[in-house]
Amino acid sequence: MSNRNDEQNLLITLGVVFTQALVDIIGKERSAVDFAITPNGHICIFDTNPGGAGYANQLTEMHIMKKVIGQAYKILSLAKEKASKDMLLDKFTLRYMSKIDIHVALAWMNEEFSSHKSLPPEVKKSFPNATEVNFQYLLKMYREDSHITPIFYAHIDHEHCDYNKPKKGWVSKYFGYFDDRAKEISWYLSPYSIDATAQVSEDTINQIEESFKKVNFEKNQLEDSGLYPIAQIDNKLFFTNNIESAHLDSLWGSMTLYYTEVLDRVK
């Protein structure tokens, strides 16, 4: 906010409702999380446990943040409909009664929604229900779905295949995340040609096969749509619209990622 003092009621209302929405989404008690307004007008949501429990940190995951915003909007809309602040107030927030401004908060959220960028056209066309996420969310799904065999994808050519180079290679940056189950993971590399070494050396293929379950060569059917799969864990597909983030090197999956649910393995 440009002026903390002028926007204090709005900041406090948003702090209250975002904090309540977060605990609703993650299923925790309101006492586990609280908020503060910083001198420069930021809303800081934090765990009340001095050691931290990781509750507030879940807001760094885009899908959780979107759910929290959606839940906050529902809470405010219902409060407006009932013309009551009661659902925003409890023993932790009662001191804010005079500061709660439901109408201003709803107006601010509506303005934010209208100004948000929509999904890129190529993403929206193929996967209209996709959500922007980050690599940490991919890792979380990998760890939580330990009974599911993951599939990894990469777009390869001889100029962008730094699999095992020191510092710049895929192995140095990523293998440590997946070494516990590497022998369960299959790779699908695209583009495929009759002479696979035109894209990636036989030595590199052998290195991958030594650590992982299998290497497959298969044309990426989404490429014509400008999309590149990164990983699929059961029905959870992670993909990018940035080819630089799809190469088998240290940039793999590191830029903008999108997540959606699919019925079958993506080809």
Domain tally, the chain:
2
| pLDDT score, position 115 | 62
76 with 107, same domain: the answer is: yes
Residues 24 and 154 in one domain: no
Mean pLDDT check: name the lowest of 39-48, 108-117, 152-161: 108-117
Cα(251)–Cα(2) distance, integer angstroms: 36
Residue 266 domain-assigned (yes or no): no
The pLDDT, as a whole number, for residue 212 is 95
Q: Is 150's pLDDT higher than 80?
A: yes
206 and 159 within one domain: yes
| pTM higher than the cut 0.85 | no
- End-of-domain residue from the set 59, 90, 115: 115
CA separation, residue 267 to residues 27, 221, 263 (Å): 37, 6, 12
Give CA–CA dist 238/243, Å, rounded: 14
Q: How far apart are CA 48 and CA 30, in angstroms?
A: 10
